[in-house]
Amino acid sequence: MKKVLVSSSHFDTLCHDAWDLFEENGIEVIFDAKKAFPAYTTEEIEAHPDREEIVAALIGMDDYRDERKYQALPNLKAVAKFGVGVDNIDGALAKKYGVKALNAPGQNSNAVAELTVSFMLNLLRGVIPLHKAMEEGGWPRHIGTEIKGKTVGLLGFGAIAKLVARKLQCFDVTVLAYDLYPDVKAAQEMGVKLTTQEEVITASDIVSIHIPATPDNYHLFDRDTIAKMKDGAYLVNPARGALVDLDAAAEALLSGKLAGAAIDAFELEPLPKDAKILQCENIVLTPHTGAETKESYYNVSITTAKDIIRVVNGQEPDHCVNP
């Protein structure tokens, strides 16, 4: 029987419709709710009793850059990321084995955009430090700052950044944006100034990162780049951990160069307990939770399920990153 190996968390509780869709199309779902960490190692794949019947993998944090995984799954036709970023899938390697690499662009964009705006507001008002102080019996009179009148720079102007810009329209802010392939029409409609990467970094009170991680932009926000930011600026990263040098960010926070930072993705996950960034007070850290909403899970699961079914049936998927 054809089977799909699912290692995306909460698939059994939040993705019933997608599960049913697989079964209606003759594909059995393999999902182990007892696994402490949903992702499968290469060794676990090699030892999996159903590996020869698995025709698709719907993955979260699994690493599909290891050729042994493809060799262990001889009938694999599709590997789909439960989300957008496919940095944990080697598209060329998958293609070598006749495997379609899939994702679900736009399906969790609103969830990430809402979290991004909440990051900005929380940082400016010091919500997390105030909450911690009250837990310890304190009643501090912290003086925050308002987002009104600030300049927000969006590094990247794709689906998520556009939603961030739209949500910021009611806050009376100036929005700058840089993108390699800018959507001029959308920018004009929302009053966003398209500019250079340099201006976004140097002229913004809040810099929000919305670009994919590539070898060329590894640690884009290192000591040198952060030094170019305005004194007292805020850094928000709901994108990819590799884009920010965490130690450099921590140094800037501790010195006061940065007034605050909010980060949702990290190079090493879970974040080590001895990470320097944890010494800082003016931070908001979340465990890669940008897309973690009920609505997002529904949208992504249905989108990926439909594409997997298309591939298994010999049809072209709507969202393939290695055509």
> What are 241-299's pLDDT values in tens digits?
999 999 999 999 999 999 999 999 999 989 999 999 999 999 999 999 999 999 999 99
**Tokens at 218, concatenated:** 């590894």
**Tokens at 304, concatenated:** 């990926």
Q: What 3-state class would DSSP assign to 233?
A: strand
Give Cα separations from 234 to 86, 90, 138, 170 (angstroms): 27, 33, 25, 20
Side-chain half-sphere CA neighbours of 134 within 13 A: 8
Measured between alpha carbons, how far is 206 from 226 in angstroms, rounded to an integer?
A: 12
**Which pLDDT belongs to residue 61?**
87
Catalytic residue IDs: 240, 269, 288
pLDDT in tens, 100-137: 999 999 999 999 999 999 999 999 999 999 999 999 99
pLDDT in tens, 189-210: 999 999 999 999 999 999 999 9
* Region for 191 from its dihedrals, namely left if φ exceeds 0, alpha if ψ lies in -120 to 50, beta otherwise: left
pLDDT in tens, 2-46: 999 999 999 999 999 999 999 999 999 999 999 988 899 999 999
Give Cα separations from 294 to 12, 18, 68, 120, 170 (angstroms): 13, 13, 34, 23, 26
pLDDT in tens, 227-250: 999 999 999 999 999 999 999 999
pTM over cut 0.85: yes
